[in-house]
Amino acid sequence: MKAHDGMYIAGAWRPASTGDTIPVVNPADEEVIAHVPAGTAEDVDAAVRAARAALPAWSATPPAERAVKIGAVRDGLIARKDEIAATVTAELGAPLPFSEAVHAGVPIMVAGSYADLAATYPFEEKVGNSTVYAEPVGVVGAITPWNYPLHQIVAKVAPALAAGCTVVLKPAEDTPLTAQLFAEITHEAGLPAGVFNLVTGLGPVAGQALAGHDDVDLVSFTGSTAVGKQIGATAGAAVKRVALELGGKSANVILPSADLAKAVNVGVANVMANSGQTCSAWTRMLVHTSRYEEAVELARKAAAKYGDRIGPVVSAKQQARVRGYIERGVEEGARLVAGGPEAPREQGYFVSPTVFADVTPGMTIAQEEIFGPVLSLIRYEDEADAETIANGTVYGLAGAVWAGDDAEAVAFARRLQTGQVDINGGSFNPLAPFGGYKQSGVGRELGAHGLAEYLQTKSLQF
């Protein structure tokens, strides 16, 4: 795969401060497919200076003109969607049809939504005797993970640009090629130099330098809770805005009146998609005791259908971590009904689609984010019990409720401590705010709520 050997700073590919590189590995065959530069604090500093220099002109650009540029980025994503899908498949391992539909498709929708929102958002409003202006926060440091590599970039960069902010992006070290492709697209779209900048590199080096940089006004981070806590503490100490999209352990609550086969099949598909590497995945399936064994059998059959069809997980490290959790589940007494800890192939970082029954709420696999194709079925006695179990983790990112009618499901969903709930299989909405309750994060992405994250208000009284 073609890779740039520099950083995209101030509108050009600049040599990195050192010759150190990071290998990019295809997780399906373990081949090194490229090397990208390992950025340092010096590279981050150059990128932040470029973003600061570009800020006055970009923030003063009328929103309608910013909307046109974001629209041009969206058009570039459309023009290069096949290349994007192939790149994500090469560095993340997702099967190509999934890369085409989701990894390339969703960012097009999200970029398009911000082209529309930049043109229509009320950046000025009257409140009594005041005029309230929504102004850009300033220079944004964006730190993104590898699991939805382009979506997570676009979900930060597009609203930041719509708000009038400038950006320095530090993408995940496992998936930097997608980020380089995105930088090319912003360049071709004619974004002014310095409005978007890219520094590839390791989290504890380049990521930490960006999160701690004095001249960054807002840090937007998606990734693990452990790193998120550290970034939140750094930002808090510097009195700096921070948005954190962290882990999840979402509950899929199937009420007794639900269409059980549909709820279980959609639930299994939700966990297996992207090889389980989805922060909002419904990794805990809660089933009433009266229908529990029926659900276990349906889940076993559904998981068996996946067989070899899911891709590998992203890296050897993630494979070891996921297999470790599966072993832990067996040790703690859960009943393995599909899959298991053995690697299904000799080559590539594959994990078998795995289903556990007889999982109790206190088990490690019911509490911690595994980030692999592993589903836990938990039994509940009544609605109060289901509510306690569903809300009984430190997380609260997403979830699902299934019932005979939407009103019954909605009544239960309102009792869940979580940022999103899909009712009877409701579909993804790129305009709905996405983000966590509790330790799943701080702040919201997507739609108008996602744009508001990058704004601060100024009130003028008359």
Active site residues: 245, 279
Mask of contacts with ligand NAD, 243-272, x by CB under 6 A?
A: --xxx-------------------------
Contact between 223 and ligand NAD by CB under 6 A: the answer reads yes
Measured distance CA(296)–CA(337) in Å, rounded = 8
Pairing of strands 374-380, 284-288: parallel
Contact between 434 and ligand NAD by CB under 6 A: the answer reads no
The stretch near ligand NAD (CB under 6 A) out of 156-164, 227-235, 291-299, 301-309 is 227-235
The stretch near ligand NAD (CB under 6 A) out of 115-123, 199-207, 260-268, 379-387 is 199-207
The residue count for binding ligand NAD (CB under 6 A) is 26
Contact between 172 and ligand NAD by CB under 6 A: the answer reads yes
Burial of 452 per CB tally in 10 Å (0-12, 13-18, 19+): middle
Pairing of strands 130-136, 455-461: antiparallel
Cβ proximity to ligand NAD, 194 vs 212, nearer residue: 212
The one-letter amino acid code at 339 reads: G
| 230, 265, 364, 456: residue in contact with ligand NAD (rule CB under 6 A) | 230
**Length of the chain, in residues:** 462
Cβ proximity to ligand NAD, 255 vs 279, nearer residue: 279
Contact between 208 and ligand NAD by CB under 6 A: the answer reads yes
Question: Comparing C-alpha atoms, which of 256, 258, 293 is closest to residue 377?
Answer: 293
Cβ proximity to ligand NAD, 217 vs 369, nearer residue: 369
147 phi, psi to nearest 5 deg = -75, -35
CB of 155 to ligand NAD, least distance (A): 10
Measured distance CA(435)–CA(345) in Å, rounded = 35
| 24, 227, 266, 326: residue in contact with ligand NAD (rule CB under 6 A) | 227
Question: Comparing C-alpha atoms, which of 363, 356, 371, 354 is closest to residue 287?
Answer: 356
Contact between 419 and ligand NAD by CB under 6 A: the answer reads no
| 204, 236, 333, 404: residue in contact with ligand NAD (rule CB under 6 A) | 204
Query: Residue 448's CB: how many other CB atoms inside 10 A?
Result: 17
Judge whether 244 and 440 are in contact, CB under 8 Å: no
| DSSP, res 72 | H
Contact between 282 and ligand NAD by CB under 6 A: the answer reads no
The one-letter amino acid code at 310 reads: I
CB of 284 to ligand NAD, least distance (A): 15
Which residue is it, tokens 């990734």? 223
Cβ proximity to ligand NAD, 231 vs 242, nearer residue: 231
| 105, 107, 112, 145: residue in contact with ligand NAD (rule CB under 6 A) | 145
Which residue is it, tokens 């560095």? 91
CB of 245 to ligand NAD, least distance (A): 6
The one-letter amino acid code at 60 reads: A
Measured distance CA(212)–CA(168) in Å, rounded = 13
| 173, 217, 408, 453: residue in contact with ligand NAD (rule CB under 6 A) | 173
CB of 38 to ligand NAD, least distance (A): 11
- In sequence order, which ranges of 164-283 are alpha helices (DSSP H)? 176-188, 208-211, 225-237, 260-272
Question: Comparing C-alpha atoms, which of 116, 65, 68, 79 is closest to residue 430?
Answer: 116
Mask of contacts with ligand NAD, 366-405, x by CB under 6 A?
A: ---x-x----------------------------------
The stretch near ligand NAD (CB under 6 A) out of 40-48, 221-229, 327-335, 380-388 is 221-229
The stretch near ligand NAD (CB under 6 A) out of 44-52, 141-149, 187-195, 401-409 is 141-149
> In the chain, how long is the greatest CA-to-CA distance?
72
Pairing of strands 124-127, 130-136: antiparallel
| DSSP, res 103 | I
Contact between 26 and ligand NAD by CB under 6 A: the answer reads no
Measured distance CA(148)–CA(427) in Å, rounded = 18
The stretch near ligand NAD (CB under 6 A) out of 13-21, 98-106, 129-137, 202-210 is 202-210
Cβ proximity to ligand NAD, 89 vs 208, nearer residue: 208
| 40, 87, 89, 144: residue in contact with ligand NAD (rule CB under 6 A) | 144
Measured distance CA(417)–CA(429) in Å, rounded = 20
Return left, alpha or beta for 248; rule: phi > 0 is left, psi -120 to 50 is alpha, else beta: beta
Cβ proximity to ligand NAD, 230 vs 456, nearer residue: 230
CB of 258 to ligand NAD, least distance (A): 28
Beta bridge partners of 374: 354
| 99, 147, 178, 439: residue in contact with ligand NAD (rule CB under 6 A) | 147
Contact set with ligand NAD (CB under 6 A): 143-147, 170-173, 203-204, 207-208, 211, 222-224, 227, 230-231, 245-247, 279, 369, 371
